[in-house]
Every structure is written in C-alpha cells, then in structure tokens.
Chains A and B, each alone.
Chain A
C-alpha cells in the first residue's frame, strides 16, 4: 500500500467524515467548521473542490450520498440537532467552466431534540428513504414519496431505542426473503445496560419496525456498525466497533408457521473478534465485496482485516494517519496463511498479532547492495515482517513510499 496522493482538504477544523459517492468519482467531506465540501476527481486522478458551503450551525458529524438513481443528493447530520438533505443543481454554464457546482438545501429534518449522530440512506430498492439517529436514543426513518421533489420528506417511523444512539446501518440485502432491517449502536457508557446493538426489522403486517434482536454480549459503548454486502447469502454479517472489532453472523431462523407476524428470530454467532487496536475502536467499514473490513481505533491506526477462503480472519495491513503503511504491512499476504493447515486450525475468534512478511513485485527502486536478489528487492523497510505485538516499532517514524509528497506543515512534537 502506498499514498498515491494527498489532498489538502482546507477545512478550518476537524474533519469528521469523508464519503465517496457510489461510483467513486466524487467525495464529500464534513467538519467541525460546520461546512461540507464536495470534491470531483478529474481524469488525471486529481481531486478538485467544486463546492463548499456552510451546512449547519454546529459540527457536522456525517455526510452521505444517496444512490445516483436519485440524482446528486447528499445528507448531513449535525450537533445542531438537525439533519439536512442537499441536491446539486446544474447551474450557469460559466460556473461549470470554473469547476463549481451548486448545492441547495431541499429539507431540514428538525425532529430531534439532541445532536443527530448518524444519517444513512436506505438501500435503493426501498425508494428514497433516510434514517437518522440521535443522542436522545431515537431512530427516525424519513421518506421522500416523490423522488422528483426532495423538499417533501415525511417522518415514517420513530423507533425509541432507550439508549443514546451513535450509529446506524441498513442491511443492504435486496432479497425478498429479507425484510428491511436496520441495526443501531449505542455509545451509552453504562455497562449495566447490556446489549448496545439493537436490530430492528420492518413488519409488513403491522407496517412498523419492531426489535428483532439485541446483541446482549456487546456491553461496551459502540461507535460504529456496518452490515456487509449480502453476496446472496441467507445470513447477514455485521461488523461492530466497540472496545474491539467484532463480526457477527445473524442467521434467520425458520419461522414456525409462515403466517406468524412476529419479527424474525436469529441465531447469533461471533465470526471474529480482534482486539489488536488494544483500545476503543471508532470506525468499521466493508469494501464493496466485503472481502476486506477496515477498522480504526484509539491506537491511531487503520487496520485491514481479511478472511481467507476458510473464513479465517487476519490483519493484512495497518495504516497510519498520514496514510503510510506501518512496517510495510501491505498486499494480500496473509489471506492464505492458513492454507494447508486445515485440520489443525484452532477456532480462533480472537486473532491477535498476525505476522505478514511481504514481498513486493519488483519496482524500479535502486537495488540494495550485497543481496543476491538485490534487484528484486523493495526498500528494506517494506519487507520487515509486521510485528504488531512489538511496540517499539510503533514509535519509529514511518517509512513511506510516496508518489507524491505534499508539503506537510511542520507539526509540533507531540510526545512531550
């Protein structure tokens, strides 16, 4: 892994969220400076800010794109107790020439009495549906009945979760066998309220969302939650950022009789649990085909997790805040490291340190003197094995190979 380029986001305060659009050609950033910026990728791969505007009167926590079938639509949520929906309109031609775009506010959703902590569009097969959750423990589901008129949103459901909500995730499955489902995580600190993850399912008969499951084993605050793409499977996979990274498998149980109107019951299994952040985990997210899970924690690193074809999970990469890989962790490496020991595998739910010696495809770097295969070798820093338990490595300056090095502002030393 390497930093292909760095983009000076030019926000006046902390960036809280960065979100790619569906095709990965645009991105949106949001910040404590109360603004949202939209960036467009040019053909040569450069990112240009094409819009920047004040969206809220408080920190903007999250920004997210609607599916492009609904046009160029963004939703944001903020500490100012509102969520907002924005739509890009094609402006004057000279704006386009100057590389600018116009975003107008279509609606402000003001139902929450506290900070709105997350906002997510539902999978597109449900129509243009938006869910928000707030610190007062309410999940709200809004719908735009006329997709051509985004200023009309109706509050369809209000789910009281009893606990302060920090994050939501829609189940992306479009299978008819799976009714709409949303998982909610709570960052409530009180460990006596166990079950910080609740799963709600839409019931066709009552036309309401009802609680289908509470993950009782999750007792610590939850900061992020993410359903994996379904891949046509009958079960669901849910990643959770709590004091560690956990991956749950939710297997719908066959109903006793088809007419029963209660919510689906699930068999809940822990597929994997990683504590290598050694601390609070703040974000989890799946890649497109859910072959990789990324997590980010108090250790200031992003870790990439990958299951091999026997469903054994390993860390395959670690990134620092500046995007540089830690000790050369990279590549696909450990995905196969369990190969050949099929019989001798422990049912490891906790995967600790994974050592991943990496070897790069030859590059045009200068050869290292003295090596027989000097010409084949990447720079030394990249072939050291990842050693997660060895903390001495963590404080070494990262050795990065950059294609493009931005002028980094000098930062004050932080360790004193």
Chain B
C-alpha cells in the first residue's frame, strides 16, 4: 500500500516536471491529483440488511484504494438477548393479549377495574423482573412502575410510597446488617437505618429499631417514648376505611402541630438524632436535604416531602412539587438527565411527553409499546387531544413486535402483537414470518400452523414449496412429496412422482410406502401422482393375491391413459403373470374388456422396441 502510494507520487512528480511549462494543463492535473488523494483517503461502506442485524464492510465504489477484509455484523437491539428481559417479554405478552380481549362494548365503569388490574399485572411483572436484575437495571424499571401508577387514578401518596420503598430497597439490606451485628445500637449505620425508615414512612419498623436504643439508655427513655408515640400516632390515610379525606386532614394537622410543638420547646434537644427525626416529621426540607445520600434521588425527596408536608396532595398539584423538589435536590452542577425529564413529564401527566421521551431515551420499545397500548385502551390518549392515538399505538406495537421477530424464539410472541394491529399487522406478519428460518421440519410445521390459522395462503404455499425443494435436493423423496402435496404444487408433485417411478424401474421396489399407500384424495393433485398411487395399489393387490382386482386396476390404468409413455412397457410386463392366472383369464376374455387392453397393447407395442414386442 505504501509502495503503491509512493510510486504514484513519484510518477506524479515526473508528470508535473514534464508539464511544468504547460501551465494551462496544470488545472486539470491538480484536479486529477485531488481526485487521487481523495481516492486514497476515501473508504466506502457497503452494507446488507439482515433479519436482526446489518452486515457492514469496507469497500470502494470508485474502485481505488485498498479494501478491508472484514464483514461486521452490526446488531441493533441487544435487549432481546438478555435472558431476564426475555422473561419480561414473555410475561407481558400474556397481559397484552388479555388487554386486547377486553370487550369494547363493555360499559366503561366495568372496564376501569380491568384496566387497573392490567396495569397492576404489568407492574408485578416488572417487579419480578427487577428482583432478578441487578439493582442497576431495576431502578430504571422502577421508573416504569411510577409511570404506570399514574395511569391508575388512586390514592397518590400511598402509591408513591410503595414505589419509593420498592426502588430504595437497599435499606432492607442495611437493616439486616445492623441487626446481625454484635451490638446493633452501636453500629455506624444504626441512625441511617432509622432515618431511612422514617423518610420512607415505615414508622413501625423505625419504632422497633428505636426501642433497642431506648432499652439500653434508661436515662433518656422518656424522650424515646415521646418519639415512639409521635411515630405511632402519625395518621396514615386508609382508603378502605370510612374516614373521609377531610377528617384525615384534620387529624394529620393536629399531629403535625404536636410534632412542631415538641420541636419548639426543645423536647429532643438532648439527642440530636431524635431532634433530626422530629424535624423530618414536621417536614423540614433542609433537614431532609442533609440526608441526600439516604434519599438517593430527587423523587424520593419529593415523596418524603409530600409525606410530611402535604399528604393529601392532589394529582394536579403534583407537578409543582415535583419540579421544585428536583430543583432543590439537584445542585446547580448536575443537569437533569433524560430519566428526570421522563419522570417530570409523568408527574405532570403529560402522557404524550412521557411516550416521546421514553422512545428517545430507552433503546427498546417494550415499555412505550405497552404503555401506549394501555393508554389507548383506557381512551386516555384521546383525552389529551391526540387524534392520531390509535396510529401511534399501532406504530409502537409494530416496532416492538418487529424487534421480537429477529429473535430465534421470541418471534412467536410477536405474532399476537401483529394480530392486534388492524392496519398493518397482517402485512408485517406476512413479511416477517416468511423470513423465519426453517431449520427443521418441526419448526417449519410450527410456522406453517401460524400461517394456516390466519389463512395466509401464499405463505403456506411458499413454506411447503421451500421444504419440498430442500427435501428433493437432499434426496428425501417421501418428504418432498408430502410437502408438495401440502403446497398443492401439481408440477412439483408430478416431478417427484416421476422420480419415484424411475426409482422403481431401477430398483424394482418403492420407498416411502407409508406415504404412497395413504395418499387418499391428495392423489388427485396431478395425473402422475394419481398413477403412482394407483400403480402402487396394483402392487399391493397383487401381493395380496387379489388377482382379479389387480387386473381390473391395471386395465383401468391402461385405459385411462394416465401412465407415462415410458412406463407402458413396465405395465405390459406386469400384465403377463396376471394373464396366466385362471380367474383373471376368464375376466380378461370377457369380450367387453378385450378391446381396451388390445388397444393399449397395440398402442404400447408401436412405441417400444421390437425385441420387447417379441418378448410380449
């Protein structure tokens, strides 16, 4: 490569020397030189689409410069290869299908609980998946959960707490560590655990841990007892009870004031930890922010803040708190990340923004497709003034399902997704399913069944044809014949029947007797196949010594003229031993039947060699 370049430049230098008087030509030389350099530098990239990947290779379409001997397999969607996510895809598929089967004409008040249960099911699948995944991915998935919460109208704060507990599960590990240590109360993480519990609203657990400390310090027992009673008394709204929200609010305010009073009169001044907890209970934001590392994220902060400041928050007010929590929690250095804006949009109930942000931020379509589908079923997309709701749903579901199709086993799930896309689902399925590799007969039958159930006749025919062709080239005649019968491919069946007859002529016996004996009406697909079936039947009758029937059949084969010409000689030879049979003799000598056989005889003998004729 270097040599080539060097030579070329030397050559150019000489060339320039010769031409240096001819300035008028310089321009073109420079152009040439320029092109040459570009040619050297330029690498082109060729590519080829595959089912789940793209092949990329370096080439040069201008035919200059070196090539590069690699073909790279570039894959787009790697998530489908994750075994845990595969479980998620599998499980969510059932929920999706269930959702599609909710009847449209059902009164909407009956539908709502169903939608809520679908959403819950999605969440529990996500949850199960999270437990298996490392914490890393789990966090991301937990954000899916919060978005799903919003789909359900419900008791907001309870849901949020539930969500935060789910995603900040490391507290449970820490508490185990503390309790298993020799002296839990002196463990360095002791207070962290207590405060974490409080921040998550897990008061009973916080009290249990606190009691350990109280038991060891009889002197400060009163303030521990005071804190214990505060934590115990903290009102938690119970949606199942008869209590109204207003009643709860009055009760909560009363409790809040009580906490505030203790804080003001320095009841906890002797123990800074208890004082901190008390400050949290009255909703002191600065104190909460001092424990950023326990909160972890701005949305945890948001939830804790609401818990101790405004537990009866309405969904419509949430966005205000979300935005301010984020601003307070994040210092100016760290800009919000994509996930933050997704959550913010979710808190704002801007479903469309959520879908859009998720599509950009996440590299698979699982979440957006299912979310949009659910929203569409709840008729929530329309209420947000999107008139193209159903198109958006179909677009995303098609994308998700197409991704599944490139996977060697998940493609079967995708079929149901395509089934529920009224506009393009069918044609996408047709295009994708015919590309499913048919490595084995079993897999081919599986694909075939899916096509048959959907009356995809062209795909059915094509699959059978491919299998027939493959079997034939591997010399598996029986399989080739049965596939071509399934394909209703008369020409191919004729060709294979001919091969069977040829094989018979050379070997004197048939292969694949099971198949040929049981052709039934399929025999009528082509004349040659009919002949093959009937001729084999003749052999069977003959073998069973049913000579009269055999002779009748042979005769009808001769008269019906479906036997290939090349085969007539064989037929006549077959007739000879029959003529020697007594009962056949009487049958053949029946005048009515003599004419056709003689016709056949004369016709046949005209075409065969004289020696054969003499023999006959």
Which A residues fall within an 8 A CB radius of B?
1-11, 13-20, 22-25, 27, 29, 31-32, 47, 59, 67-72, 88-90, 124, 148, 174, 223, 229, 231-232, 282-283, 285-289, 291-292, 294, 296-298, 300-302, 308-310, 317, 319-323, 330-337, 339-340, 342, 356-362, 364, 367, 371-373, 375-376, 406, 408, 412, 414-415
CA distance A359 to B399 in the complex (A): 18
Q: Which of B23-31, B42-50, B582-590, B608-616 contacts A (4 or more CB under 8 A)?
A: B42-50
Contact A6 B71 (CB under 8 A): yes
CA distance A13 to B352 in the complex (A): 52
A24-B435, A371-B334 known; 19 new pairs, CB 8 Å cut-off, are A2-B75, A3-B72, A3-B75, A4-B74, A7-B73, A8-B69, A14-B59, A24-B437, A29-B71, A32-B63, A232-B426, A283-B47, A283-B61, A302-B45, A309-B391, A332-B365, A339-B392, A373-B337, A376-B140
Residue-wise interface mask of B (65-92) relative to A, using a CB-CB cutoff of 8 A (1 in contact, 0 not) = 0111111111110110000000000000
CA distance A89 to B495 in the complex (A): 18
Nearest A residue to B135, CB-CB: A375
Residues in A with CB closer than 8 Å to B43 are 300, 321, 414
Contact B431 A14 (CB under 8 A): no
Nearest A residue to B468, CB-CB: A69
Nearest B residue to A374, CB-CB: B136
Contact A335 B56 (CB under 8 A): no
- Asked if B598 CB lies within 8 Å of chain A CBs, one says no
CA distance A364 to B78 in the complex (A): 13
Q: Which of B120-128, B356-364, B449-457 contacts A (4 or more CB under 8 A)?
A: B356-364
Contact A27 B74 (CB under 8 A): no
Q: Quick one: which of A231, A297, A321, A367 contacts B424, CB cutoff 8 A?
A: A231
Given A23-B438, A321-B68, A323-B72: A340 touches B356 (CB 8 Å cut-off): yes
Size class of the B contact interface (CB-based, 8 Å) = 35 or more
Which B residues fall within an 8 A CB radius of A?
1-2, 40-61, 63, 66-76, 78-79, 134-137, 139-140, 296-297, 330, 334, 337-339, 352-353, 355-356, 359-365, 388, 391-392, 394-395, 398-399, 402, 424, 426-428, 431-432, 434-439, 458, 462, 465-466, 469-470, 473-475, 495
Minimum CB–CB distance for B390 against chain A, Å = 10
30 contacts between A and B (CB under 8 A): A1-B76, A3-B73, A4-B73, A4-B74, A7-B70, A14-B59, A23-B435, A24-B51, A24-B435, A25-B439, A27-B55, A31-B67, A282-B44, A285-B49, A287-B49, A288-B431, A296-B46, A296-B47, A300-B43, A321-B57, A322-B56, A322-B58, A332-B363, A332-B365, A339-B392, A358-B360, A359-B339, A359-B360, A361-B79, A372-B330
Contact A9 B469 (CB under 8 A): no
Contact B427 A174 (CB under 8 A): no
CA distance A309 to B394 in the complex (A): 9
> Chain B's interface: helix, strand, loop or mixed, by majority?
mixed
Residues in A with CB closer than 8 Å to B473 are 71-72, 88-90
Contact B361 A359 (CB under 8 A): yes
Given A20-B50, A337-B356, A359-B360: A15 touches B44 (CB 8 Å cut-off): no
Contact B70 A9 (CB under 8 A): yes
Given A321-B56, A333-B360: A296 touches B76 (CB 8 Å cut-off): no
